[in-house]
Each structure stands twice: as structure tokens, then as C-alpha cells.
Amino acid sequence: MILDNILKDFGLGIDQFHVEPINAGYINQTYKLTSTKSYILQRLNRNVFKKPETVAGNIRAAADYIKQHHPDYLFLSGIKTTSGKEMSYDAEGFPWRLFPYIANTITINKVETETEAYNAASGFARLTRMLEGVEASLFEPTIDRFHDLKLRYQQFEDALANAAADRKEAAADAIAACQRYIYLVNRYDQLIVSGDLKLRIMHNDTKINNILFDATTRKDVVVIDLDTLMPGYFIYDLGDMIRTFVSPVDEEEKDLSKIKVRQNIYDALVKGYLSEMNAILSDKEKSSIEFSGQMMTYIMALRMLADFLNGDIYYQTTYPKQNLIRARNQLRLLDLLTGAG
């Protein structure tokens, strides 16, 4: 019923489609609508994106710029409603968006080959390059200080101060580990204060399943999940790639012994990233490549652990302690990335 009402706003009817949920993300609700012409329909989580209009506004600003300057680049923006709106609102006030489905594409949850790492990294980097020169003031943060490590550490400390005793006890190891890595917060702070990093329009969620590959050629086709397309630093994108590409297992893995840093994948992804960004990044920026992976892995550990301590209110979970397991996973990866493990 909800889906039907929403689709009517886009001039479509539910009966035309085979509808199936896609359960990959932690935040939004996503459906694939299959027919001769297929679509992706998505409900934006307005508890996370408190100003959903900023999400749509940023994507539109990027689409307009790219259309003018790089007309051949495939950029995935939403389809407007029949009355020209970016989103359709359901009775509870949640915004929904419709995207064209790109045929013959797949997502992957783990990188298997150096070629995949190279292609995905160059794909995410190309988006940044396509947006070089865009007026930054057209973009608003969709989540304030999203990848500000200092803020995330503060939020972890707040969660710790307010946590239920049983959760604190269960997470004692992860809490201690997060506290041990506070030197990364100081390094981050110094880096930001130094002014060496340029503010650009970044994707801010470059995990491996946010880029579509051609099902046949395995070449990257298009970057998806543009909810956090907003001003940021290159370390956020490159770091999240390092975080999600280099290990043979993903952030849900419970068996920590399976977490590894595959140096060949690491090298391939940095090479792919620089194939697009080499001339754009300054030498000072390039000296933060290693730090980027450490910083983004740490920030996820802090966010996941804070959510566990807060009683699992942010990320979607399917079993108890899932956020704690995720945090431990990230901390193990961090040990390996910093040489502590």
C-alpha cells in the first residue's frame, strides 16, 4: 500500500513490477522493482538524515555540474515525481526516492582481485575528479561533522558515560582498545589544523558495495549511495576503501583470525585511486594515504562501539551484540593497519 502510493507520485504502479527488498545497507530501506524497465526505490532514514532535502539538493547540484562539464560521465541521480519533486513523502513523513536500475550490473561485498580493487578505487576517485571545480557552497552537510574523528571520539566517550553496566562490561576489551588509539584523534586534529588537506566534494561512503560493476566485464560502471555526497577530505574516501577492500572478510566477520591486510590489494587500490587523483592531490595530501585507512577504520570502530553502548539505536542489527562484533572486527583490522597486531 505504501509502495503503491509512492509509486503513483512517480507515475508508476506497483502491479507493473516484481518487488524485492535489498538488505545490504545499514541505514535506508531499499527495494528493487523489476520489469522491462527496472528501478530502485528507497526510503531515506530521516532519523539519520534529519534534513532529507539536503541529500537531494547535493545530488542535484552535482548532477547539474557534471551534465554541463562531463556529459559522458554516468552519474546516478534520482527521477523526479510527476509534479517535479525530488522525493515523495509517505503518511509517516518519510521521504522516498526512485532511481533507474542499471542493467547487467552487480555489487560485491568483498574484493577478490587486484583488478577489482584498482577499478573500484579509480571509479570512486573519478567521481571526485568530475566534481573538481564545482562551487562548494552549493553543497550542505547531510550529517554534520560526519567524519570528524574528534567528534566521534567525543560521542564514544558520551556513550560510555551513559552506558548500561552490562553493556560496558561486555565491551570492556573494545572500550580499552578504542581508548588506546586516541593518538589517532590527536594526529587527525593536527592534520586538520595544518590546513594541508583541501576541502572537496567527497562521496563519504566508499565501501566496496557502493559501486556497481559490469556483471560480464567486471569493470566499474557507476558509483551509488550518494546520501553523504558533501564537503570533506580525500582521506575519508580513500580511507574507507582501504577499510573495506584490503581484508578478505567484511566488517560483519566474527572470526577475527580471518581478518587480514592483503598488501597486493592495498597497493592496487592506491594505484587505482591515484590513476585519477595523482595530479589533483598535493604532495602533502599524499603523505596522509596510510593515515587515511587507519583513521577511517578507527572511526567505524568508535561509531559501532558507541552504538552498542547506546543500546543499538543507529545501525540496523539482526542479532544481539552485532555492533560490538563489528567494532571488534574493525579494531582487529586497525591493529593490522597500524602494525600493532
Number of residues in contact with ligand GN1 under rule CB under 6 A: 10
Query: In the bound complex, what is the minimum distance in angstroms from residue 306's beta carbon to ligand GN1?
Result: 12
Partner whose footprint covers residue 26, from ligand GN1, Mg ion, none (CB < 5 to 8 Å by kind): ligand GN1
Query: In the bound complex, what is the minimum distance in angstroms from residue 84's beta carbon to ligand GN1?
Result: 27
Q: How many C-beta atoms lie closer than 10 Å to residue 288's C-beta?
A: 22
Q: Does 152 bind ligand GN1 (CB under 6 A)?
A: no
Q: Does 102 bind ligand GN1 (CB under 6 A)?
A: no
Determine the Cα–Cα distance for residues 218 and 112; give it in Å rounded to an integer.
Answer: 11
Q: Does 25 bind ligand GN1 (CB under 6 A)?
A: yes
Q: What is the dihedral of CA 286, 287, 289, 294, to 10 degrees?
A: -160
Q: Does 205 bind ligand GN1 (CB under 6 A)?
A: yes
Q: Does 203 bind ligand GN1 (CB under 6 A)?
A: no
Q: How many C-beta atoms lie closer than 10 Å to residue 79's C-beta?
A: 15
Site pattern 184..203 for Mg ion (x: CB under 5 A): --------------------
Q: Residues 205, 220, 237, 240: which binds Mg ion (CB under 5 A)?
A: 205
The total number of residues shown for the chain amounts to 341
Q: Does 207 bind ligand GN1 (CB under 6 A)?
A: yes
Piece in contact with Mg ion (CB under 5 A), picked from 90-98, 224-232, 259-267, 269-277: 224-232
Please give the residues from 26 up to 55 whose contact with ligand GN1 meets the rule CB under 6 A: 26-27, 48
Determine the Cα–Cα distance for residues 104 and 145; give it in Å rounded to an integer.
Answer: 36
Cell of residue 81, nine digits: 515525481
Q: Does 225 bind Mg ion (CB under 5 A)?
A: yes
Determine the Cα–Cα distance for residues 317 and 321; give it in Å rounded to an integer.
Answer: 9
Determine the Cα–Cα distance for residues 220 and 211; give it in Å rounded to an integer.
Answer: 7
Query: In the bound complex, what is the minimum distance in angstroms from residue 48's beta carbon to ligand GN1?
Result: 5
Q: Does 200 bind ligand GN1 (CB under 6 A)?
A: no
Q: Does 9 bind ligand GN1 (CB under 6 A)?
A: no
State the sign of the Cα–Cα–Cα–Cα dihedral 39, 43, 48, 54.
Answer: positive
Q: Does 99 bind ligand GN1 (CB under 6 A)?
A: no
- Comparing CB distances to ligand GN1, the nearer of 27 and 222 is 27
- Comparing CB distances to ligand GN1, the nearer of 14 and 76 is 76
Partner whose footprint covers residue 99, from Mg ion, ligand GN1, none (CB < 5 to 8 Å by kind): none
- Comparing CB distances to ligand GN1, the nearer of 26 and 101 is 26
Query: In the bound complex, what is the minimum distance in angstroms from residue 141's beta carbon to ligand GN1?
Result: 12
Shortest CA distance to 128 belongs to which of 270, 280, 296? 280
Q: Does 95 bind ligand GN1 (CB under 6 A)?
A: no
- Comparing CB distances to ligand GN1, the nearer of 126 and 243 is 243
Partner whose footprint covers residue 48, from ligand GN1, Mg ion, none (CB < 5 to 8 Å by kind): ligand GN1
Contact residues: ligand GN1, CB under 6 A? 25-27, 48, 205, 207, 225, 228, 251, 300
- Interface with Mg ion by CB under 5 A: which residues? 205, 225
